[in-house]
Amino acid sequence: MTESPAVLLAAVEQVARLAGDIALGYFRSQLVVESKADGSPVTIADRNAEQVAREWIEKRFPADGILGEELGVTRPDAPRRWVLDPIDGTKTFIRGVPLWGTLVGLCEGERVLAGAAYFPAVGEMLAASPGEGCWWNGARCRVSSRATLVEATVLTTDERFANDAGQRDGWLRLARRAAVSRSWGDCYGYLLVSTGRAEVMVDGILSPWDAAALMPIIEEAGGVFTDWKGTRTAFGGSAVATNQGVAAESRLLLETGTTREVHA
């Protein structure tokens, strides 16, 4: 396991593209939608895309572990593991909306070595590795330079925050401050932040397979990625991704229970 960051960057991109193209083959087709134990939907597209990704990894990196949303854990004690979400935004996918993606992260413990987010239905690929930059369809990309929320676009997956009233209150403070607030959610929101088309993306609940790929993408694009508490991690169960200019202001407004006013 001595591959260079450039090799790992190419590998996560290849896996994401392979799995995403499998999922795209099922997009806007007649699919049977099942419900998982947590009530979230799953289809044959999710499972087949993840299976193809796993087969690619098993062939080329047989010592690595794998954690996938649909097919579970392989070699849990391996020092390095691939973290897979074959279709991030399945609810979007099954409704024929193109704003879903395939996420692939490669981790050593909680350190993310490389990440890729592929959006097959809109033809966009993001890939990043620490020190190698963030690449958007083969060109370097950067977060925006906007410095205040009054000129920012802020995003979330579901503005109801049904599981946490404090998070909902924080989001409302943030949304009221911003120039534009939208729920262009799931991984698509992180694509918009990393390419400078939005300034903030937040999720109150996020699984490891949702977040692992996104952390290096945001950071290598020049942004800031933390959990809701402000800890720099992809494994905190939530996420706040911003550009540098509005990072501190955004996190203060999101802080659960705060009543302080922030002046731009």
Is the same domain home to 159 and 98? no
Q: Is residue 262 part of a domain?
A: no
Is the same domain home to 246 and 168? yes
Q: Is residue 171 part of a domain?
A: yes
* pLDDT of 1: 55
Nearest of 76, 116, 85, 148 to residue 220 by alpha carbon: 116
Residue with the two structure tokens 């239905």: 121
* pLDDT of 184: 79
- For the stretch 181-203, pLDDT in tens is 999 789 999 999 999 999 999 99
Contact assessment for residue 170 and residue 253, using Cβ atoms and an 8 Å cutoff: yes
* Sequence-ordered alpha helix ranges (H) in 72-185: 90-94, 165-177
Give the CATH number for residue 56: 3.30.540.10
41 vs 64, residue with greater confidence:
64
- For the stretch 107-119, pLDDT in tens is 999 999 999 999 9
Is the same domain home to 129 and 186? no
User: 238, exposed or middle or buried, with CB in 10 Å at 0-12, 13-18, 19+?
Assistant: buried
Is the same domain home to 156 and 133? no
Please give the helix or strand (H or E) that residue 209 lies within, else none.
helix 208-211
Return the percentage of the chain with pLDDT > 90, whole number.
Answer: 91
Number of domains, the chain: 2
Is the same domain home to 59 and 110? yes
Range of the domain at 193: 149-254
* pLDDT of 213: 98
Show the tokens assigned to 55. Answer: 């087969």
Give the CATH number for residue 233: 3.40.190.80
Q: Is residue 76 part of a domain?
A: yes
Is the same domain home to 92 and 67? yes
* pLDDT of 257: 46
Return the percentage of the chain with pLDDT > 70, whole number.
Answer: 96
Interatomic CA distance for residues 208 and 227, integer angstroms = 12
For residue 204, pLDDT beyond 90? yes
Give 237's Cβ-side CA count (13 Å radius).
4
* pLDDT of 37: 83
Q: Is residue 191 part of a domain?
A: yes
Give 231's Cβ-side CA count (13 Å radius).
8
Nearest of 122, 147, 146 to residue 136 by alpha carbon: 122
Average pLDDT over residues 209-235: 97
For residue 258, pLDDT beyond 90? no
Q: Which of 105, 137, 169 is the last residue of a domain?
A: 137
* pLDDT of 185: 86
C-alpha pair distances (Å), 62 with each of 1, 57, 256: 11, 7, 43
* Sequence-ordered alpha helix ranges (H) in 26-70: 44-60
Mean of the per-residue pLDDT values for the chain?
94
Show the tokens assigned to 140. Answer: 């370097």
Q: What is the pTM of this model?
A: 0.94
